[in-house]
Structures are given as C-alpha cells and as structure tokens.
C-alpha cells in the first residue's frame, strides 16, 4: 500500500533530509514551506500523515494543526510535530492541539521512520475498523428490514386466526374491506398458501357413488 506524506517546514535542508529518508521507504512525499501553503495542499489532496514543523514564520505549527483539526474531512489525518523544543510544556501543547507524536531535531532517521510507520499502521487499522463498523451497520439495517417484513407477515397470519364472517350457504368469506370472496381467494391473498383441487371421500360418495370404494 502506498502512503502519501506531507512535510511542512520552512527550512529546505530539513525537507531534503526528511524527504530522502522517507523516499527510501517508498513513501510518496510532498512538501510545503509555510502554513498557508500546507493548508491549501491539505484541502486539495489526500494525505495519510503530516510531518509538521512547529517554529515557522507567519503561522506556526500549532495554528496549522488547529486549523487542520477544524476541517471535518481532514481532521483524522495524524500529525507528527517536528521540534527542537524538548520542554514538556511545548510537547503537551502539541498534543493539546491534536498531534499524535513528535520528533526532535536534529532528526534520528531510525526513530523518525519508526514513529511514521507506527502511526500509519494505526491509521490503517482504524480505517479497517471503521469500514467494518459501517458494514455491520448496513447489516443491522438489513436485519431490521427483514424483521419488519416478518412482523407484517405475522400480522397477516394473525388475520387468518381471527373470527371470519363466512356465508353459511356458499362459504364465501367477508374480507376487511367488506367484500365477499371465495374461500381460496381470501386465503391466497392473506398467505402464501397455494391450492390444488381434489374430492374428499364424502363428496365422492354423494356425487359419484359408482366410484366410491367401500
């Protein structure tokens, strides 16, 4: 699977070092040199992870991350801060605005790649879980539809179990609308039963005595 990464840093040497290390791992790498450019690129393209420098002129990394997390379609993109600051207050601030991790400058290539790989795999796993949850939601909707149809079928069956007005002479049944129907017609319209015709022993004896078997 190919991952698309964005490097945001105002120092070209840092971009070159990072880009070279990531390209060796066969990641697709783009770069921006300021916060405004980065946000424009994020809005227009799909990135799997962003490496974001904190100290940049005009708009620092904290503000870029805040604005990114306010973009509904992009807020789930993981952000790893790049920083020369190691004070806990700066690190905590990075997590508070939405970063998932940080890498200190100067970069250690092995540490950087390990952190990038970890967060890409976490994102991939989360997407798989989300996809599975959506599938389960669709299945639940289908089951609800089936249950609704079953309830309707049971109601139709219950109709047959109630007291039905039936003519004493022709055996027609009066339906819910007040119409008189042949017995087989009524049952067919209220169930999935099918009819085949035959002659019972009593009728054979009455109407065809010559065919009756003693």
Distance CA 97, CA 62 (A): 7
Q: What do you get for the CA distance between the two ends of the chain, in Å?
A: 83
pLDDT at site 214: 58
> Where a domain ends, among 131, 150, 180?
131
Helix (H) or strand (E) holding 176: none
Number of domains in the chain: 2
Nearest to 107 by CA among 17, 9, 211: 17
150 domain-assigned: no
pLDDT at site 34: 95
Q: Would you give the distance in Å from CA 92 to the centre of its chain?
A: 32
Query: pLDDT in tens for each of the 214 residues of the chain?
Result: 789 999 999 999 999 999 999 999 999 999 999 999 999 999 999 999 999 999 998 899 999 999 999 999 999 999 999 988 778 888 899 999 999 999 988 888 899 999 999 999 998 888 888 888 888 888 888 888 888 887 877 676 665 556 667 777 777 777 777 788 887 777 777 666 666 666 777 777 777 777 666 5
pLDDT at site 53: 94
Specify whether 83 is located in the same domain as 177.
Answer: no
pLDDT at site 27: 93
Residue 199's Cβ-side half-sphere holds a number of Cα atoms within 13 Å equal to 11
Nearest to 80 by CA among 58, 53, 57: 53
67-99 burial, b at 16+ Cβ within 10 Å, e below that, comes to: bbbeeeebeebbbbbbbebeeeebbebbeebbb
117 domain-assigned: yes
Specify whether 103 is located in the same domain as 168.
Answer: no
For residue 124, the tally of other CB atoms under 10 A from its CB is 13
Specify whether 20 is located in the same domain as 71.
Answer: yes
Q: What is the CATH number of the domain that holds 75?
A: 3.40.50.2300
Q: Would you give the distance in Å from CA 52 to the centre of its chain?
A: 29
Distance CA 183, CA 189 (A): 10
146 domain-assigned: no
Specify whether 80 is located in the same domain as 25.
Answer: yes
Beta carbons within 8 Å of 211's beta carbon, 6+ residues apart: 204
Q: Which domain holds residue 69?
A: 4-131
- pTM over 0.85, yes/no: no
Beta carbons within 8 Å of 48's beta carbon, 6+ residues apart: 3, 4, 5, 77, 78, 120, 123
Specify whether 27 is located in the same domain as 94.
Answer: yes
Specify whether 52 is located in the same domain as 94.
Answer: yes
3-state secondary structure 66-116: HHHHCCCCCCCCCEEEEECCCCHHHHHHHHHCCCCEEEECCCCHHHHHHHH
């Amino acid at each position: 699977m190919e991952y698309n990464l964005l490097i945001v840093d105002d120092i070209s040497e840092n971009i070159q070092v990072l880009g070279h290390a990531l390209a060796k791992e066969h990641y697709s790498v783009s770069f921006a040199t300021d916060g405004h450019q980065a946000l424009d690129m994020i809005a227009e393209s799909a990135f799997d992870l962003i490496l974001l420098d904190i100290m940049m002129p005009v708009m620092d990394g904290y503000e870029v991350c805040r604005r990114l997390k306010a973009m509904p379609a992009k807020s789930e993109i993981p952000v790893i801060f790049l920083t020369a600051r190691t004070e806990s207050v700066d690190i905590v601030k990075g997590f508070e605005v939405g970063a998932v991790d940080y890498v200190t400058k100067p970069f250690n290539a092995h540490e950087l790649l390990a952190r990038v790989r970890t967060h890409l795999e976490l994102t991939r796993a989360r997407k798989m879980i989300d996809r599975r949850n959506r599938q389960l939601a669709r299945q639940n909707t289908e089951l609800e539809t089936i249950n609704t149809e079953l309830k309707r079928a049971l109601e139709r069956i219950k109709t047959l179990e109630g007291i039905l007005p039936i003519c004493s002479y022709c055996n027609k049944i009066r339906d819910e609308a007040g119409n008189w129907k042949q017995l087989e017609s009524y049952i067919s319209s209220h169930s999935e039963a099918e009819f085949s015709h035959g002659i019972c022993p009593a009728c054979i004896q009455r109407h065809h005595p010559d065919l009756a078997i003693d």
